[in-house]
Structure 1
Amino acid sequence: MNDINRKFQRVLITGISGSGGSFLAEYIVNNHVDVEVHGISRWHSTASHDNLNNIKERVYVHECDLLDLSSIIRVLETIKPDGIFHMAAYANVKNSFITPLSVINNNVMGTANLLEAIRLTKLNPVIQLCSTSEVYGRVEPKNVPINESCPINAVNPYSVSKVTQDLLGQSYFLSYGMKIIRTRMFTYINPRRLDLFATSFADQISRIELGLQDELFHGNLDSTRTLIDVRDAMESYWVALTKGRIGEIYNIGGENIYKVGEILEILKSKSSGDIKSRLDPLLLRPTDITLQIPDSSKFLLETGWKPKYLFEDSLNHLLDYRRRVNIRSNC
């Protein structure tokens, strides 16, 4: 483990009202009370500001569009953050096949504008580009488990946009000496993000329990994944910012290996109802990534971080969360 231990006074989270950004904000305000947490969110964002309800009095949210360079500069000069988590992105893989140019433009130019605004304001924060295992795309079995040296092989418009974000980070680190760390997160269990397969399953199970729908619909059940709890994932982002080496790439992911279909059956077993399920062809992607098993040893060895939540606890948390949401919204 290295001896790096950076301290931060003021951090900025792009996409703070999103599913991941809101959990990251919660982690920081609950565990690092001396750190001032700022975030940016667009007035026309598709994310729900309800995600911040539990901490809205403890974070500062600024209106800013990453496609508008001037608004980024304004926010950066106002906040002067010493740490930045770049999490804002269109992240729905399936929808990226429907609106590929919009996804690519948003994710690539938003990142380019952010990095350029930081350079122009002459600020010098530590920046974490929160990337994804999607950049590895379809991986040859010989490269599994996947380490950071695995060839990039993007197979969908979303992953192309994330590869470009990743390479922009590398470029600004090498060309301008900016303090950039790249993390590539593998599949995680996030109850606020309905386009993730486990969340969709849990949400549909809760709706069936409430009599709001009759059966559960799913896509490809044969993909193999490891899963990590969103609360562990967000803590790992904090650890990466405080302990990661500048210029490095880190894979982060779970250890337990499951097929998507196995996750579905485990979640169904946690319901007292009779959950019927069937394939919906509309949920199948034109190209799919079927094998995502990470090698996170580099991150674990360099930072000493370890996940805290058991897989069973994560699934229970996921189901309970979606049940509460559906009960509230249908009272």
Structure 2
Amino acid sequence: MNLEKIFKNKKVIVTGHTGFKGSWLTLWLTEIGANVLGVSKDIPTIPSHYELLGLGKRIKSKKIDIQNLKEIKKIIKSFKPDFIFHLAAQSIVRKSYSSTIETWKTNLMGTVNILESLKENKKETITVIITSDKCYKNIETKKGYKENDILGGEDPYGASKSAAEIAINSYIKSFFNKKNNKNFIVSTRAGNVIGGGDWSDNRLIPDCIKSWTRKRTTKIRNPESTRPWQHVLEVVYGYLLLAKKIKHNKKLHGHSFNFGPNMKRNFKVIDVLNKSRLFWKDINWKIEKKKSFKENTLLNLNNAKARKYLKWKPLLSFEKTVKLTIDWYRCYSLKDKRLIFKKSVDQIKTYKQLI
């Protein structure tokens, strides 16, 4: 799939570009020649994949809170993007309990602000909005959630993402459904993403890496919980491919797509730990019996729609997914930014060879 022809020299806004997925997406876009404008309110973690890669020197970047409608309107009007990837979010389930209002404002109203700004957009623009697999009403089913299943979300994070999906659908039906419409919008819902460069708190791999590099024992909350684990590059490629497909097939406007591993390849938290041990020796963990907040134990996504309409499919085995992730962090432990940049670019090149 030749993405260069689609994105080279095109104007692309990435919100949340300083985050984990946002930095990988931004790196891939710069590697294929896109003119990227990043929009984020801050650097969300220390260390930061974005800073380690030196992306601030390779793209234009604006320090803007996604909640600031006036500034978001100004950016879209002045930059006149060909593509927008909206990733800016409060993305941690646990944090949504302690920062509930901020989670709702960022995840719901941040999305509304993008949509509201597009009402004044006169240029043909493809917008890919990233929500979450947590947007579905969880009924602990093994069948895997499809895009037309009931939205829900019991925790504040999942509920805010579900609400964002409702807002997207409302705006499309109300404002972006005319014959002369210039805005083509889709949403995506991805499973649990792992990969190098994630330093967020209360996520499995980052928490483990922080402990293992200090030769400490990691506390594990829910070892038997099943998640649709996938490498960050699987998802980033899905975002880019979706943007390409809707550019050529406007009938996809208003659709949502799941990006997740094949359901037979969903694994438990304990499986991720055991597989990690193959690539990082002498790691240890212990089970934390006390639960401070509720989490779903079973979460599966059905990726049939992405397979059918986008010709997207998972390309990495579970073992390869974990290996690429652990390899990146082992490279990071050498504390050489040049090696980290090369490792990240090399992993993108390796993945592209599979496409």
The bucket for the TM-score relative to the shorter chain is: 0.7 to 0.9
Q: CA deviation at 1:302?
A: 0.7
- Match for residue 243 of structure 2 among 238, 241, 244: 241
3-state DSSP class of the match of 2:131? strand
**Where in structure 2 are there 5+ consecutive unaligned residues?**
177-182, 247-251, 337-355
1:64-117 CA-to-partner distances (Å, cap 9, x unmatched) read: 221212211221122110111110001011111112112112221211122112
Contact 1:225 1:259 in 2 (8 A): yes
Contact 1:147 1:295 in 2 (8 A): yes
- Match for residue 263 of structure 1 among 272, 277, 280: 272
Q: CA deviation at 1:149?
A: 2.1
- Match for residue 216 of structure 1 among 209, 218, 227: 218
3-state DSSP class of the match of 2:219? strand
**1:291 correspondence with 2:290:** no
Farther-moved stretch of structure 1 (236-245 vs 6-15): 6-15
User: Do the aligned partners of residues 172 and 124 (structure 1) sit closer, same or farther apart at CA in structure 2, a change above 3 Å counting?
Assistant: farther
Partner of 1:88: 88
Partner of 2:345: none
1:214-264 CA-to-partner distances (Å, cap 9, x unmatched) read: x12111111112221101210110011111411111111012121111211
Partner of 2:351: none
Equivalent AA in structure 2 for residue 228 of structure 1: Q
3-state DSSP class of the match of 2:13? strand
User: Do the aligned partners of residues 91 and 227 (structure 1) sit closer, same or farther apart at CA in structure 2, a change above 3 Å counting?
Assistant: same
Partner of 2:287: 279
**1:191 correspondence with 2:196:** yes
Partner of 1:105: 105
Contact 2:23 2:49 in 1 (8 A): no
Farther-moved stretch of structure 1 (54-63 vs 215-224): 54-63
1:128-150 CA-to-partner distances (Å, cap 9, x unmatched) read: 11111001142242x62221122
Partner of 2:61: 61
Distance 1:47 1:115 in 2: 27
User: Do the aligned partners of residues 74 and 281 (structure 1) sit closer, same or farther apart at CA in structure 2, a change above 3 Å counting?
Assistant: farther
Q: CA deviation at 1:124?
A: 4.1
Equivalent AA in structure 2 for residue 180 of structure 1: I
Contact 2:144 2:302 in 1 (8 A): yes
How does 1:1-331 map onto structure 2 within 5 Å? 7-8=6-7, 9-30=10-31, 32-33=32-33, 35-42=34-41, 44-47=42-45, 50-52=49-51, 53-141=53-141, 144-177=143-176, 178-193=183-198, 194=200, 195-208=202-215, 213=216, 215-244=217-246, 245-255=252-262, 256-273=265-282, 275-281=283-289, 284-328=291-335
Contact 1:199 1:318 in 2 (8 A): no
Partner of 2:341: none
Distance 2:157 2:331 in 1: 31
Equivalent AA in structure 2 for residue 12 of structure 1: I
User: Do the aligned partners of residues 146 and 285 (structure 1) sit closer, same or farther apart at CA in structure 2, a change above 3 Å counting?
Assistant: farther
1:170-220 CA-to-partner distances (Å, cap 9, x unmatched) read: 111111114210111111213332332133234433332xxxx3x121111
Normalising by structure 2, we get a TM-score of 0.81
Distance 1:137 1:323 in 2: 37
Distance 1:164 1:308 in 2: 31
Farther-moved stretch of structure 1 (306-315 vs 93-102): 306-315
Contact 1:25 1:37 in 2 (8 A): yes
Contact 2:76 2:121 in 1 (8 A): yes
Greater relative contact order, per chain length (Cα 8 Å cut-off, separation 6+): 1
Distance 1:202 1:136 in 2: 30
3-state DSSP class of the match of 1:25? helix
User: Do the aligned partners of residues 281 and 96 (structure 1) sit closer, same or farther apart at CA in structure 2, a change above 3 Å counting?
Assistant: farther
Equivalent AA in structure 1 for residue 16 of structure 2: G
How many residues align? The count is: 314
3-state DSSP class of the match of 2:135? helix
Q: CA deviation at 1:126?
A: 1.3
Equivalent AA in structure 2 for residue 147 of structure 1: K
**Where in structure 1 are there 5+ consecutive unaligned residues?**
1-5
User: Do the aligned partners of residues 323 and 7 (structure 1) sit closer, same or farther apart at CA in structure 2, a change above 3 Å counting?
Assistant: closer
Contact 2:140 2:296 in 1 (8 A): no
Distance 1:74 1:153 in 2: 33
Contact 1:129 1:166 in 2 (8 A): no
Partner of 1:3: none
3-state DSSP class of the match of 2:61? strand
